[in-house]
Chain A
Amino acid sequence: MRELRGEGRITLNVNGEKHSLVVRAGDTLLWVLRERLGLQGAKRGCQNGDCGACTVLLEGKPVKSCLILAVEAEGRSITTIEGLKDTAIQRSFVEHGGFQCGFCTSGFLLNAHALLQAHPQPDPETIRSWLESNLCRCTGYEGIERAVKAAASGEITAD
């Protein structure tokens, strides 16, 4: 039985590092990552689960960190954009112009990275289904799609 009344100490495993900190029961993972751990790669967008700018990986699966309490993520592996290094998808975003203003980029990158881990050679429908979780306010979807397809094709590899 886990109980957190008001506030209490939890341990989060973020990008392979353990962080012990006191949180409120109602603190979202997004808020704790940004305001307590200083990991500001996950962006505060709609805070309603619509835009995907706050996407992080929980046990390798993309989740919107505005829609999960920090206490729920206790003991589970969390990956933020700060923990994603030298991957094919990151290189591919650079090569194929997968971003414009960059606000949505961390969310798209983590989602696309998880997609390619789960489906190394995704069909167009699978790509569409996964990517519709994220919004790009610059409407740069074509570049993002090109980048994902290029990384999936093996045209671009990790550094």
Chain B
Amino acid sequence: MIPYDLVYLRPSEAGQAVQLFEQARADGLEPAYYAGGTEILSFTRRNKIRPGALIDIKQIPECRAVGRQGDRIIFGAALSLNEVIEADLFALLSAACRRIADHTVRNRLTLGGNICGRLPYRESVLPLLVSEAEAQITGPGGSRWESLGMLFDRRLRLQPGELLLRVRLGRDAARGPIFHGRRQRGTRVDYPLVTCCLLEVDRQIRLAVGGACGYPVRDPEAEESLNDSTLQRRQRIERVVARYAPQIRSDSRASSEYRSFLFSRILTEAADRLMGEDVR
């Protein structure tokens, strides 16, 4: 349990949530938006964070939205990862979500929580980066749709009081061939050493990488190498890994050399699936 008294608020609309956040902030309560709560509860128990007010977003209609809308697919920020998987609207996102935490935790862990959380892996953002999804953000300054890729630099760059309501992506992007590869040190539930999400759109492969660098990244220059048809497959993969190498981290779970090796292995498997034969 949370070892101090706090305020729990559950608004039913987005504007009310923002107002409550602002009011709680004015009252000096250090508010936090609360979705699945998996991270907030474990972090507060260990005194890593100390929010004085939790604003539960699970009854905000936009945050619970899921489905096709015209030529777009929409996912609300308060959908649990299992709800995202069961909706089965974007295979790459389903594949990524299926490997986050365990099945029971995925009944609580939400898409928005995974994107905005403090843990650095944020694996659900990888498919959204390669599908060039947009995010609907609401806050004291109003509501807007913005490119997720533009908003995301290691983490989602939100202003104080801003809330991620939902994400949307084009149905065409969701139809392309995909590859999801992940390696971890221990069991499948363990945090990733490397996760790669690849999506082919208009015969070009897009790549986003997590785990290896300590934050999710999509690097256009690496993608250029990956799609350079004048190079052999092996050369393309070497160039991609070399491009990421300065950012690949070493820690107690794996050295940067080992992560680079795993990265290369995943890309080789992806190449078998997505790339044509080498040019002779």
| Chain A residues packing against B (C-beta within 8 Å) | 1-7, 24-28, 30-31, 47-49, 52, 55, 58, 61-64, 66-69, 71-72, 111, 129-130, 132-134
Decide if B230 is an interface residue (CB 8 Å cutoff).
Answer: no
**Residue with the greatest number of chain B CB neighbours at <10 A, chosen from A4, A25, A48:** A25
Tell me which residues across on chain A come within 8 A of B54, comparing CB atoms: 25, 69
The reply to whether B37 and A67 form a contact with Cβ atoms under 8 Å apart is: yes
Decide if B41 is an interface residue (CB 8 Å cutoff).
Answer: yes
Tell me which residues across on chain B come within 8 A of A55, comparing CB atoms: 104
Partner of B105, one of A25, A26, A31, A64: A64
From residue B187, how far is it (CB to closest CB) to chain A in Å?
Answer: 7
Using known A-B contacts A31-B1, A67-B42, A69-B37, determine if residue A62 contacts B10 with beta carbons closer than 8 Å: no
The reply to whether B38 and A49 form a contact with Cβ atoms under 8 Å apart is: yes
Tell me which residues across on chain A come within 8 A of B254, comparing CB atoms: none
Tell me which residues across on chain A come within 8 A of B11, comparing CB atoms: 1
The reply to whether A27 and B1 form a contact with Cβ atoms under 8 Å apart is: yes
Decide if B188 is an interface residue (CB 8 Å cutoff).
Answer: yes
Query: 5 shortest A-B CB distances, which residue pairs?
Result: A26-B2, A133-B104, A2-B10, A25-B8, A133-B102
Partner of B104, one of A2, A6, A48, A63: A63
From residue B248, how far is it (CB to closest CB) to chain A in Å?
Answer: 27
Partner of A62, one of B6, B98, B101, B107: B107
Minimum CB distance partner of B16 in chain A: A1
Decide if B189 is an interface residue (CB 8 Å cutoff).
Answer: yes
| Interface of A, helix, strand, loop or mixed by DSSP | mixed
In the bound complex, what is the Cα–Cα distance between A155 and B60 (angstroms)?
A: 45
The reply to whether A25 and B45 form a contact with Cβ atoms under 8 Å apart is: no
The reply to whether A47 and B45 form a contact with Cβ atoms under 8 Å apart is: yes
Decide if B5 is an interface residue (CB 8 Å cutoff).
Answer: yes
From residue B267, how far is it (CB to closest CB) to chain A in Å?
Answer: 25
The reply to whether A72 and B1 form a contact with Cβ atoms under 8 Å apart is: no
**Residue with the greatest number of chain B CB neighbours at <10 A, chosen from A1, A55, A129:** A1
With A61-B107, A134-B104 given, name 9 new contacts (CB 8 A).
Answer: A1-B10, A1-B11, A25-B2, A25-B5, A25-B7, A25-B54, A61-B82, A62-B104, A63-B108
Tell me which residues across on chain A come within 8 A of B3, comparing CB atoms: 26
Tell me which residues across on chain B come within 8 A of A30, comparing CB atoms: 1
Scoring B residues 29 to 68 as 1 if CB is less than 8 Å from chain A, else 0, what string do you get?
A: 0000000111001101100000000101010000000000
Using known A-B contacts A25-B6, A26-B3, A26-B4, determine if residue A48 contacts B42 with beta carbons closer than 8 Å: yes
List 9 A-B pairs, Cβ < 8 Å. Answer: A6-B6, A25-B6, A47-B42, A49-B42, A67-B41, A69-B8, A69-B41, A133-B103, A133-B105
Tell me which residues across on chain B come within 8 A of A3, comparing CB atoms: 7-10
